[in-house]
Structure 1
Amino acid sequence: MNPIFSPSLHIQRHQFVIDFVRKNKPKQVADLGCGEGKLLKQLKFHRNIELLVGVDSNGAKIKKMRHRLAPLSTDYLQPTYDQLRVELYQGSVTQRDGRLRRFDLVTSIELIEHLTLTDLECFASVVFGYMIPASVIVSTPNSEFNALLPGLTGFRHSDHKFEWNRSEFRSWALKVCLDYGYEVEFTGVGEAPQDQQESIGFCSQIGVFHRLQGNDHCSVLHGSDVEEVFAYTLVYSVNYPSLHDSNTLRKVLVSEVLHWAEHLKNRWMKEKTGRTNDVLPHRQTEQGALEELLSESHTPTSCTETLDCPVDYCDRGDVEEQEGAGLLWANDPQQQSGTLNRYVLVPLAVLWSCCPKIGELSGSLENLRHLLMDHPQVKLTQDGSSLLVKCEEQDPDQVDGGLEDDEDFRAVQRSHRAEPEEDWEANV
C-alpha cells in the first residue's frame, strides 16, 4: 500500500505532527499507541519539548525502543540549556493516569481503528474528558480511499475493528467536541489523484482538536473531581543532560576554562619566548622581574586580539605575594641545576572577558569564581582571582621530576593558603 506514496504514508503522518510541533511549540507531548517509537525519536530533537511521553500496551515494544530514545554521546559532550525528559509507559488508552493530564499535545496516529466501539468511547472519555490536553491530533484510515489501493480486500490491517469514511469520522469528531469542549479541523495526508481528490479525500484522514477556553467545567464532569489514579507502568525514564543542571553546567564550564587558560598561556609564552609549553629566559634580578610583571597589565576583550600580556607569570620556589597586584612570584631554588618548574597565573577576569562561552556559562565574574572554587581540576590563587597553569619543563636526565614538581607546588600552596593542602597530584 505505501509504495504508491512518495514519501511513504507513515512518513507523511509523522511529518504532519512534526510540522504542527514546529509551528505551535508544545512543551509537553504524549504519543498514544507509540509502537516502536519512530515518531518519538524524531520529536526528541525539537528543543521546545521538555517532556516527551510514549504509551503503548505492548510492553516488549516499549522496552525495545528505550535504546532509540536514550541520550547520545553528543548530548553529554555538548549539552545545551534545553531541558528534555523522556518517559515510556505500558498501559491502555482506555485507562486513566494522572501523570498525563493537561499536556500541550496528545497524538493518536492510526490507533482508534484498533479499538472496539466500546473502547473507543472510553478513549474519548480518557483523552478529552480526563487528560484534557490543549491539542489532540487523531489520524485514522479513510475507507473511501481503499478502492484505489491495489490488491486490497477488506480492511487495511487484520487487527482493524473498523475503518470509517469521511462522514463517519466527522460525525464522531464533532460529537467529541460537543461532549468535551473542543473544536476540530479536518485534513489528511496521502492525496488521491487530482481528478478524485474532491470525491475521495485523503488516504489517512486527520482531525486536529483544540480545547476551547473555559471548558474546564467539562473536565469536572468527567473525572477531575475523582482521585487521580496511576494505571500505567513506567518502563523507562531519562533526563537529557542540560546546562540548567548545576553539575552539568560546572563540568562544561571547567572544561572551557582549562582549555582557554592553556590556550592563552601558550600564546603569551610563544610571544615572549618563541616557544609554547616552556619557561621564560632567566631575568637578571628579582626586582627587575617584578617590575616587568607589574608593567604588563593589558587585558584583551577578544580572544582573537594580539595578547600583550593575557596572563601573569611566576616562577616556583620562595613565594612572595604582592599586595594589590594579584600576583604570585617565586624564585626556583633548582634553577642552578638546570631544572625550571614554573607556573603561569591566568586572571579569571581575562578568561571571563575574552572568551564569550565562559562569560555566557558563568553569567558574572563572581559566579565564575564561585563555580571554580574547590573544584579538584582547578587550582586558584589564595584570593581566587587567578588560575594557576603549569609550564612543563624537565631536565632530560631527571627521571622522577614529575613527583618533585608536585612537591614543589604543594610548598607554593602552603606558603599562601591557610587551609590544609590538597593532593593536587591525584587531580592532575
Structure 2
Amino acid sequence: VLDVGCADCRLLTTLKVHRHGVELLAGVDIDCAAIQRRKLVFACSDLSEIQLIQNPFLNSIIMSLAMHALAPLSSDYLVPGDRPLTIELYHGSVMEKEPCTKGFDLVTCIELIEHLDPGDVEKFSDVVFGYMVPHAVIISTPNAEFNPVLPGLTGFRHKDHKFEWTRAQFSTWALGICWKYGYSVEFTGVGEAQDRDVGFCSQIAVFQRDTELNAPVNNTYLVPQVYRLLYKVVYPSLQDNKVFHRTLVSEVLYSAESLRRRWQEEEDGARSDLTSDICGSGSAEGQGVYRCGRSVRVPLLDVWASPRVQALCVDVQHLREALLAGSWVQLDTDGGAIVLPDEDEENEEEEQEEE
C-alpha cells in the first residue's frame, strides 16, 4: 500500500495494525516537515504542533527520535506476524515519477488532489494511473456541494485548497481516468447531511484496474532514485528463521510448563507414591505427562495439541525437527517427549542444602 500525501501518517498507523497480509506500507509527502512533526508529536505529546513548527532545534533532532506511531510494539515481538511487514516514509512529490512507486496493489490519495494547481491534475493523473499502474486507487476530496452545511464556512475548507469539486465534476474527472487508463470506478463517501441532499461531506472514488499486468513489479527491495528515504522499519515475522525458532521455543516451553504444572497439581492431590528412580506408567506417545528418574517428561504430541504450537508447526514431526535444530529445548533419547526438571526433586535438594 502506498499512501500519497501521507502527511501525519494516520492512515499508515491504522493500516499497520489491521494489515491483513500487507507486506509493504509506504508513505510519501512533499512536506517533509509534516512527516517529521508527526514523529515529534508522538515523542513529545505535551508540545503543540505550533511549537514544533516554530522551534528549529526541535525539528533538527526529529530524525533521531523513534517513530512511535509506526515502530513495532512489544506485542509485535512477542507475537510476530506470519508475513513480513516493512514500513517506509519518503520525501517526494506525486508529480515526479519514482520507480519505487510502481506495482503497488493499492495507492491512496486522501484529501490530496484539491491541494494541486488545476493545471497539475492531469500530470498527477498520469503519474498515478499511467506510471504507477496500481491494482486499485482510492481518492478522496471535499464535496463542494456540502460546504453550505458547514457552519461559518466561507470559501474553501482550507486556505491551501486550489479548488473543490462538486459531485458532477469529480465524477467527470474519474470517468475520464477510467476511459484513458483502463480502470473502473465506484463512488462513495463519508459524512452525510441529515436534512439536505448534498451528498457526502468528503467524496471518495475507488478505482480498480481492468486488466492485470503481464509482469508484476516487486518494489520491496528497490532503491529510490527520485524520492528521499526518511524512515524505514522492518517488523519481526515468522518468515525470519531466528524469529520463528524463538517464537516456537517460547510457545513450546509455555505449553510444556502448563501441562507439567497441571500434572503436578493432580499428583499432589492424589499423593502419588511414585518413586523418583523409576519411570511412571506414561509414555511419549501422548498418554500424558510422567516422571522418569529425576525429570518430568511431557509428550511432544501433548505439547503440539496447543493451538498456538499447531499454528507454527503442521505436525509433530515438523515440531520435532524444529526443536532438534536448536538447543533450547531438551528432548528425550527417542525425541518423543520434552524433558523438564522435577520440581519435587529440586525442592528436596534445596531443603537438604539448607540443613
CA distance in 1, matches of 2:295, 2:236: 35
Q: Tell me what 1:313 maps to.
A: 292
CA distance in 2, matches of 1:168, 1:146: 15
Letter in 1 for 2:338: L
- Deviation of 1:88 after TM superposition, in Å, equals 1.5
Q: Secondary structure at the match of 2:154?
A: coil
Conserved 8 A contact 1:264-1:311? no
Letter in 2 for 1:396: E
- Deviation of 1:153 after TM superposition, in Å, equals 2.1
In structure 2, do the counterparts of structure 1 residues 348 and 109 end up closer, same or farther at CA, with 3 Å as the change threshold? same
CA distance in 2, matches of 1:244, 1:87: 19
Identity value in percent: 47
Q: Tell me what 2:33 maps to.
A: 60
Under a length normalisation based on structure 2, what TM-score does the superposition of the two structures give?
0.77
The yes-or-no answer on 1:396 pairing with 2:351 is: yes
In structure 2, do the counterparts of structure 1 residues 109 and 350 end up closer, same or farther at CA, with 3 Å as the change threshold? closer
Matches within 5 A, 1:205-216: 205-213=203-211
In structure 2, do the counterparts of structure 1 residues 273 and 298 end up closer, same or farther at CA, with 3 Å as the change threshold? farther
In structure 2, do the counterparts of structure 1 residues 255 and 93 end up closer, same or farther at CA, with 3 Å as the change threshold? same
In structure 2, do the counterparts of structure 1 residues 349 and 367 end up closer, same or farther at CA, with 3 Å as the change threshold? same
Matches within 5 A, 1:343-382: 343-352=295-304, 354-373=305-324, 375-382=326-333
In structure 2, do the counterparts of structure 1 residues 269 and 81 end up closer, same or farther at CA, with 3 Å as the change threshold? same
CA distance in 2, matches of 1:368, 1:75: 23
Q: Secondary structure at the match of 1:190?
A: strand
In structure 2, do the counterparts of structure 1 residues 44 and 395 end up closer, same or farther at CA, with 3 Å as the change threshold? closer
- Deviation of 1:311 after TM superposition, in Å, equals 2.7
CA distance in 1, matches of 2:147, 2:282: 81
Deviations 1:223-243 (A, max 9, x none): xxxxx9731122222232323
In structure 2, do the counterparts of structure 1 residues 344 and 119 end up closer, same or farther at CA, with 3 Å as the change threshold? same
Segments of 5+ residues of structure 2 without an aligned counterpart are 40-66, 215-222
Q: Tell me what 1:249 maps to.
A: 244
CA distance in 2, matches of 1:272, 1:209: 64
Q: CA RMSD in A?
A: 3.0
Q: Secondary structure at the match of 2:353?
A: coil
Conserved 8 A contact 2:87-2:234? yes
Q: Tell me what 1:118 maps to.
A: 119
Under a length normalisation based on structure 1, what TM-score does the superposition of the two structures give?
0.65
In structure 2, do the counterparts of structure 1 residues 356 and 149 end up closer, same or farther at CA, with 3 Å as the change threshold? closer
Q: Secondary structure at the match of 2:303?
A: helix
- Deviation of 1:165 after TM superposition, in Å, equals 2.5
Q: Among residues 29, 33, 49, which one is paired with 2:22 in the alignment?
A: 49
Conserved 8 A contact 1:188-1:206? yes
Q: Secondary structure at the match of 1:237?
A: strand
Q: Tell me what 1:22 maps to.
A: none
CA distance in 2, matches of 1:191, 1:48: 32
Conserved 8 A contact 2:285-2:336? no
Q: Among residues 228, 235, 252, which one is paired with 1:233 in the alignment?
A: 228
CA distance in 2, matches of 1:362, 1:53: 32
- Deviation of 1:349 after TM superposition, in Å, equals 3.7
Greater RCO structure (CA 8 Å; 6+ sep) = 2
Letter in 1 for 2:69: R
Deviations 1:252-308 (A, max 9, x none): 2111222232333334344445499xx97657xx7xx3xx64x544854xxxxxx7x
- Deviation of 1:376 after TM superposition, in Å, equals 4.2
Q: Rg bigger for which structure?
A: 1
In structure 2, do the counterparts of structure 1 residues 240 and 185 end up closer, same or farther at CA, with 3 Å as the change threshold? same
CA distance in 2, matches of 1:92, 1:206: 22
In structure 2, do the counterparts of structure 1 residues 164 and 375 end up closer, same or farther at CA, with 3 Å as the change threshold? same
Conserved 8 A contact 1:188-1:202? yes
Q: Tell me what 2:219 maps to.
A: none
Segments of 5+ residues of structure 1 without an aligned counterpart are 1-28, 217-227, 301-306, 315-341, 402-428
Number of matched residues? 314
In structure 2, do the counterparts of structure 1 residues 344 and 146 end up closer, same or farther at CA, with 3 Å as the change threshold? closer
Deviations 1:135-192 (A, max 9, x none): 2121222223323322222221111112222333233223222222223233333323
Deviations 1:310-348 (A, max 9, x none): 23411xxxxxxxxxxxxxxxxxxxxxxxxxxx2223343
In structure 2, do the counterparts of structure 1 residues 209 and 269 end up closer, same or farther at CA, with 3 Å as the change threshold? closer
In structure 2, do the counterparts of structure 1 residues 243 and 280 end up closer, same or farther at CA, with 3 Å as the change threshold? farther
The yes-or-no answer on 1:105 pairing with 2:78 is: no
- Deviation of 1:123 after TM superposition, in Å, equals 0.9
In structure 2, do the counterparts of structure 1 residues 378 and 149 end up closer, same or farther at CA, with 3 Å as the change threshold? same
